[in-house]
Amino acid sequence: MSSELLSVFLTYFLGGLLGLVTIINPPATLPFFTALTRDMDDRQTRALARRACGYCFLIVVVSLFAGGLILNAFGISYGALRVAGGIVLGLLGHGMLYGKGDSAETMTHTGHKNPAFFPLALPGITGPGTIAVVIGISTEIRELNVWSQELAAYAAMVAATLAVCALEWALLHSARTISKRLGVGAIEVLTRLMGFLLICIGVQFIASGIRTLIVSG
């Protein structure tokens, strides 16, 4: 690999890694995951974590290579994506904030046969913000207009995604141990706090989406 391609690879790897870690915020998913796996044994919990991180990797990679095409094919704007994602995040946050009756745990018992995908992987870990960030990076990569640099940039983003998913898996795999160390009370506080933060993030996405829709006309 030439120095120029290595520079492109490192630039997109570090940029992608920082962007994904910031928007996904792996430690913030622990209370949500703990609530979701409250009635599961250790084997089921580890399996759920493994599947969820696999789904997250696929979601990010598909968004990277085909996200823009999918949105264009269905005529979905970035603003609409943010508004819809904000509503979903707000509903999930409401359930976490106001208790067991509407929690993520209840959602897994009301017809959702694959909680590893919904609500854990999407939108619990890789929400609309993650998809929007990845699609934005993919548009930057396509503007390089040099196939070797584009290839290096895509490879860097895939590597960054793999690294973030590995970090997420490590945290979720140890979620029960971390939860035991923190105690039930601390987890309850974190769960409700994260519920409130999810509502705030959802409102922010909705506001951002509305502004984008207004500007785009």
What the block records as the tokens of 131 is 């998809």
* One-character DSSP codes across 120-136: IIIIIIS-HHHHHHHHH
- Say if residues 60 and 130 touch (Cβ distance below 8 Å): yes
Q: What is the pLDDT of residue 6?
A: 95
For 191, residues 6+ apart whose C-beta sits below 8 A from its C-beta are 31, 32, 34, 35, 96, 103
Closest Cα to residue 151, out of 12, 3, 18? 12
pTM of the model: 0.74
pLDDT in tens, the chain (217 residues): 689 999 999 999 999 998 898 788 787 788 778 878 888 888 999 999 999 999 999 999 999 999 878 878 888 887 887 788 778 778 877 877 886 544 444 444 444 678 899 889 988 899 877 888 888 788 789 888 899 999 999 999 999 999 999 999 999 999 878 877 876 677 677 778 877 877 887 788 788 889 888 987 6
